[in-house]
Amino acid sequence: MKERSYYLETSVWGMLPKGQPREMRRASLQLLRRLTSQTCFVSPVVLREIMAAQEADREQIAEALQLLAPTLLQSTPEAEELAQHYIDSDILPAKKRDDADHSDAAGGPL
Query: pLDDT by residue (tens digit) across 3-20?
Result: 889 999 999 999 999 999
* pLDDT, tens digit, 9 for 90 and up, residues 17-57: 999 999 999 999 999 999 998 999 999 889 999 999 999 99
Its pTM surpasses 0.75: yes
Between the alpha carbon of residue 87 and those of residues 49, 53, 99, the distances in Å are 20, 25, 10
Dist. CA 71–CA 74, nearest whole Å: 10
Q: Are 41 and 70 in contact (CB under 8 A)?
A: yes
